[in-house]
Amino acid sequence: MLKKLLKYDLRWVGKIIIVFYSLGLIFSLFALAFANINESFFIQLISKICAGIAMSMVISALFNSVLRSWVRFIQNIYKDESYLTHTLPVEKNTIFLSKFLSAIITCLVSLIVIAVCVLISYYSVDMVNFFKMAITEYYSLIIIALLEIIFMIQVGYLGIVFGYKQNQNKLLKSIISSFVIYIVLSGLSLLLVYIYSLIFHSGNNIFNQANISLANAKDYLYFALGVYVVYNVGLYFACIKLFNTGVDVD
């Protein structure tokens, strides 16, 4: 059943985002093509404009992936379409997991498309080397970025589940709950990293340094990675637990 639900969720989210992906890739190719015609100012300007449009398209795709995952969640779980969702012979856990996975998949694909568009638009040997270095040296930073996006998505879901447990001003209460949860947990993660630095890096504390090298920050990145993993697992189970107590559709 998960596979079936996931197919429909991905199709719904994807049918708009694919337009952004396509435009992003097309303008990236334009940018690359113009960049290689000649060195004239006008042609290079067109190349830069195309690259700019490509970047705005793919970044919009990423924002859209997150926003549409929340919209889909509200429509499917609490609005008109919920009358179908909740009468399907499917476990509540599976319904939630499908929404969660579809959001992760679309965000991951969006990040990949962003990387591909950057690589095409600004293609050069230096850029290729930068990507190689990013993958080998900064992979923990890339994973943290992905975990941060998943964290944001889940905070949104938890806020929505909280908000829609109320009988009035559900959307407003969802937004406020999400915002409060995000701020509190983000503040807490910063505090945890600070405590970690006091305990394990008292002589080499990044909170006291003007310039931070990757070598110095590596341990912190791994620690932050651990914090995000714990957050995401905790948030997932909190959402499931709250969701399984039942819903009150509009």
Partner 1 sequence: MMLLECKNLCKDFDGKKVLKNINLSIGRGKIVGILGKNGMGKTTLIKLINDLLTPTSGEVLINGKKPGVESKKAISFLPERTYLDKGMTINEVLKFFVEFYDNFNLERAYKLLEDLSLDKEQKIIKMSKGMQEKLQLVLVMSRDADLYILDEPLGGVDPATRDYILDTILSNFREGASIIITTHLIADIERILDEVVFIDKGEIALVSSADELRDKTKLSIDEEFRRLFKC
Residues at the site binding partner 1, with contacts judged by CB under 8 A:
1, 4, 8, 12, 15, 80-84, 86-91, 167-168, 245-249
Judged by beta carbon, residue 82 or residue 232, the one nearer partner 1 is: 82
CA distances, 250 to each of 79, 163, 202, 245 (Å): 6, 12, 54, 17
CB of 57 vs partner 1, minimal distance in Å: 22
CB of 238 vs partner 1, minimal distance in Å: 18
Judged by beta carbon, residue 150 or residue 239, the one nearer partner 1 is: 239
Q: Give the start-end residues of each E strand in the chain.
A: none
Instruction: Look at the block and give the residue holding tokens 């890339």.
Output: 142
CB of 243 vs partner 1, minimal distance in Å: 11
Asked if 75 and 52 touch (Cβ cutoff 8 Å), the reply is no
Judged by beta carbon, residue 89 or residue 203, the one nearer partner 1 is: 89
Question: Nearest Cα to 12, choosing from 60, 55, 75?
Answer: 75
Judged by beta carbon, residue 124 or residue 166, the one nearer partner 1 is: 166
Distance CA 159, CA 163 (A): 6
Question: Nearest Cα to 115, choosing from 88, 99, 87, 135?
Answer: 135
CB of 98 vs partner 1, minimal distance in Å: 12
Question: Nearest Cα to 178, choosing from 82, 73, 92, 47?
Answer: 73
CB of 168 vs partner 1, minimal distance in Å: 7
CB of 175 vs partner 1, minimal distance in Å: 20
Judged by beta carbon, residue 40 or residue 167, the one nearer partner 1 is: 167
Judged by beta carbon, residue 12 or residue 236, the one nearer partner 1 is: 12
